[in-house]
Structure 1
Amino acid sequence: MDWNLKITDMIGDMPEHSTVIVNFVAAIRHQLKNSTCYVYSDNIQYHFQDSQGNNKIIIPDASINCRTKSRHGNTFTDAPRFVMEVLSPSTEKYDRTEKMQLF
């Protein structure tokens, strides 16, 4: 099984990076209260195949998913409804290119 994983050096997030994620999740969580959708922070994985059939695992900074039946542990097997990435100098190129294309 070829997972074709890419390791990105994440030097360590700045507190401001985490603050943006936490504020977004808190604001959206309240808005989705009576919905079948859920908002997740950066501890959720999405596992799927790219257009060449390679297995990929992507972890967005925040996401909204409405298909909770596709969840296995902390991994979903479908694309989320919404993805948020907080850009940083070390990850911006990957987030704007390969990662965006996968979603």
Structure 2
Amino acid sequence: MAANSRGSYVSPEAYLVGEDNSPVKHEYRGGQIYAMAGASNAHVLIAVNLATTLRTHLRGKGCLTFASDTKVHIQAINTYHYPDVIVTCDERDRSFSDFVRYPCLLVEVLSDTTEAFDRGDKFADYRQLESLQEYVLVS
């Protein structure tokens, strides 16, 4: 991940507006914007296979499964991340069009460039989510 070049504070509102118009995905943490690294085909296939399996398993249970392009908003620390797979069974998430706030499951497919962050700071961020029951790392 590379931080925004100016290093200055960006409001969450400005981030969301910019993200809607950006061809590149960015995560938002502590007023800083970080460009997401591109994923390999193997990474994408693993994420899609997991999301498909979870969606099939959860069919009819009122849960939603998202892959890659949906943000999680960690309201307690005003942070936005893009997990590889998200499952939410919370009705409140149906009212958000750009992100999820109440996930019960988050999955990250590890890569050499993201593993340390996924295991460290990102995991610390995710632990702020009261709804989160499971965090799965796939290597």
> Does the residue aligned with 2:86 lie in a helix, a strand or coil?
strand
Q: How far, CA to CA, are the matches of 1:93 and 1:8 in structure 2?
A: 16
1:72 correspondence with 2:99: no
TM-score scaled to structure 2, two decimals?
0.63
Gaps of 5+ in 2: 1-9, 13-29, 127-139
1:7 aligned partner, one-letter code: Y
- 8 A Cα contact 2:71 2:83, kept in partner: yes
Letter in 2 for 1:92: E
**Pairing of 1:88-99 with structure 2 (within 5 A):** 88-99=111-122
Identity of aligned residues (%): 23
Structure 2 letter corresponding to 1:24:
L
- 1:28-55 deviation line (CA, Å, top 9, x unaligned): 11111111111110111111234xxx41
Runs of 4+ in 1 over 3 A off after TM superposition: none
TM-score, scaled relative to structure 1? 0.82
Q: Kindly tell me the number of residue pairs found equivalent between the two proteins.
A: 98
Q: SS in structure 2 opposite 1:29?
A: helix
2:75 pairs, out of 49, 53, 68, with 49
Equivalence for 2:105: 82
**In 2, Cα distance between equivalents of 1:33 and 1:100:** 28
How far, CA to CA, are the matches of 2:78 and 2:35 in structure 1? 17
Where 2:62 maps in the other structure, the secondary structure is coil
Distance in 2 between residues matched to 1:96 and 1:58, nearest whole Å: 14
Tell me, which stretches of 5 or more residues in structure 1 are unaligned?
Answer: none
State which of 33, 36, 41 in structure 1 corresponds to 2:62: 36
